[in-house]
Homo-oligomer: A and B are copies of this chain.
Amino acid sequence: MSTKYFLIYIIFFVFSGLVSRAESGEGKFGEDSLQLRRIADHALTRSSTYAWLAELCEQIGPRLSGSTGAEQAVQWAFNKLQAMGLDSVWLQPVMVPHWDRGKPERAAMHLSDGRRETLQVCALGGSVATPSGGIRAPVVELFRLEDLERLGRDKIEGRIVLFNRPMEPRLINTFDAYGSCVDQRSSGAKEAAQYGAVAVLVRSMSLRMDDLPHTGTMSYAEGRDSIPAAALSTNSAAALSRALRLDPSLEVELEMFCRNHPDALSHNVIAELRGSEFPEEIILVSGHLDSWDLGQGAHDDGAGCVQSMAVMESLLALEMRPRRSIRCVLFMNEENGQRGAARYAEQSALEGLRHLAALESDRGGFSPRGFSVDGAEGVRQVALAALTNRLDLLAPYGLHFAAYGHAGVDISHLKDQQVALFGLVPDSQRYFDYHHAASDLFETVNKRELELGTAAMSALIYLLDRYGLPADVSRPVIR
């Protein structure tokens, strides 16, 4: 885009009515509009969001539950929140699973003509190792779990099963595409083991064709045979599939060194700014501190953690003493157990805490587009109404989306405590390029996109704190 005509438009549109009024916070919303403008200005010019993410990713890096990285991250976050001057900061102990992949995995196809081709592979989280020296077996390619029954034990026993259903590119929201094929990863091993498979290889949950395997959680049926489970990069899955068509008797060799250790002590990190008027009403803002062991957990979910911390920073910096108690919770072990979330919810029930609302950011540090809303029947209707009623205030910041949907894995544990659940919804197109892969690095996060997420979260927290939630959607009451 060039300059001359552009300037004419800028003069006309920006420095005339509409935009400048929205940007300066004047207009029909008055005070709230001005406060949201202050919040966004802070996020885009003075927030620590991006600097914190750099530290978390580049100084600590991956932080799978039970790892040294996870413990460093707990200490790091505790120290940062402690230094901020909040009313209280504490660690909530929780025992977490401790799994690691050991040495790097290896896999290759052995073609009938003697050629050998390397496959890009990584163990799925929680998988058992192969026997020492690896396994080698012919391969059967399937596209859905139900194909196991259709084929029957004869065609599966003694083989490696390749689950190769790709993410559906036609779904606009990539989380829907993920949801429509992640059963291969989560349940492929336990289902295939029932038919005598010796291992499973799962096509990585990514819409890109590239050489990066994407890990993620999987589980075994209790007391049943556990077989090794690994992810193939999309390119390797496609290559294996092509090769199988030409050479059905090819064999794949797979060696993995995963280890399950005893549960380890870890912690949720919690910080609170006490409400000035309704301290017993808690509004929670959250992300999860653990990540997978590949990459740096930048988008998943370093972004959500630093954004949640930055919401607290912003309240202090802008001297917005909240009416209700605002709690930042950085959950441990979202990725492979959700023990932190379960522990937090259990403790909340035990203490009879009243959580008015909870917000989670766990969809990457991308340009925010709005919020999803969830909660128990009755609660989520109120929550959606409260959000949509104020959507005009959020529109100048590119926030337009408000609909029922998944809000967050961790906060969903609070659902039966009648908590209104909100999820930050950023643009989803790039998330699965990085998700659970070695590419989930700090450098893939755009500073402004991340900061706009902080602004969006701070804005929602401000509105929830200021207006609460009406007790009944049919009779909205603002107190």
**A interface residue numbers (CB < 8 A to B):** 1-7, 9-10, 13-14, 18-19, 23, 40-41, 44-45, 169-176, 178-180, 182-183, 185-186, 207-208, 216-217, 300-301, 334-336, 338, 362-363, 367, 369, 374, 396-398, 400-401, 403-406, 409, 412, 427, 429-430, 433, 435, 446-449, 452
A412 touches B19 (CB 8 A): no
A129 to B214 alpha-carbon distance, docked (Å)? 51
8 nearest A-B pairs in the assembled complex, by CB-CB distance: A10-B179, A9-B406, A400-B400, A3-B186, A429-B448, A44-B169, A367-B427, A429-B449
Among A1, A178, A186, A396, the one with the most B-chain Cβ atoms within 10 Å of its Cβ is A1
Given A172-B452, A180-B14, do A3 and B216 touch, yes or no (CB 8 Å)? yes
A172 touches B396 (CB 8 A): yes
What's the minimum C-beta distance from A227 to chain B, rounded to whole angstroms?
Answer: 18
A170 to B5 alpha-carbon distance, docked (Å)? 23
A19 to B171 alpha-carbon distance, docked (Å)? 10
A152 to B446 alpha-carbon distance, docked (Å)? 41
User: Contact partner of A363 among B1, B40, B183, CB < 8 A?
Assistant: B1
A435 to B3 alpha-carbon distance, docked (Å)? 13
A409 touches B1 (CB 8 A): yes
Instruction: Give 19 CB contacts A-B under 8 Å.
Output: A1-B409, A2-B217, A3-B185, A3-B186, A4-B338, A5-B338, A6-B178, A6-B182, A9-B412, A10-B176, A10-B179, A10-B406, A14-B179, A23-B171, A44-B170, A172-B398, A427-B427, A430-B446, A433-B446
Given A217-B3, A446-B429, do A10 and B180 touch, yes or no (CB 8 Å)? yes
Identical chains bound together, number? 2
A9 touches B171 (CB 8 A): no
Q: Please give 18 more A-B residue pairs, beta carbons under 8 A apart, in addition to A7-B186, A9-B412, A207-B448.
A: A1-B300, A1-B334, A1-B362, A1-B435, A2-B334, A2-B335, A2-B336, A2-B338, A6-B175, A10-B175, A14-B180, A40-B172, A45-B169, A172-B398, A367-B427, A427-B427, A429-B448, A429-B452
Which residue on B lies nearest to A22, using beta carbons? B172
List B contacts of A447 (CB < 8 A).
207-208
A398 touches B412 (CB 8 A): no
List B contacts of A171 (CB < 8 A).
23
A93 to B146 alpha-carbon distance, docked (Å)? 61
Which residue on B lies nearest to A7, using beta carbons? B179
A208 to B403 alpha-carbon distance, docked (Å)? 33
User: Contact partner of A176 among B19, B403, B405, CB < 8 A?
Assistant: B19
User: Contact partner of A172 among B300, B397, B400, CB < 8 A?
Assistant: B397
Which residue on B lies nearest to A1, using beta carbons? B362
Which residue on B lies nearest to A10, using beta carbons? B179
A427 to B216 alpha-carbon distance, docked (Å)? 30
What's the minimum C-beta distance from A343 to chain B, rounded to whole angstroms?
Answer: 16
User: Contact partner of A3 among B2, B3, B182, CB < 8 A?
Assistant: B182
List B contacts of A216 (CB < 8 A).
2-3
B412 touches A5 (CB 8 A): yes
User: Contact partner of A183 among B7, B182, B396, B448, CB < 8 A?
Assistant: B7
User: Contact partner of A41 among B2, B170, B403, CB < 8 A?
Assistant: B170
List B contacts of A433 (CB < 8 A).
446
List B contacts of A178 (CB < 8 A).
6
Which residue on B lies nearest to A334, using beta carbons? B2
What's the minimum C-beta distance from A439 to chain B, rounded to whole angstroms?
Answer: 13
Given A179-B6, A217-B2, do A13 and B369 touch, yes or no (CB 8 Å)? no
List B contacts of A217 (CB < 8 A).
2-4
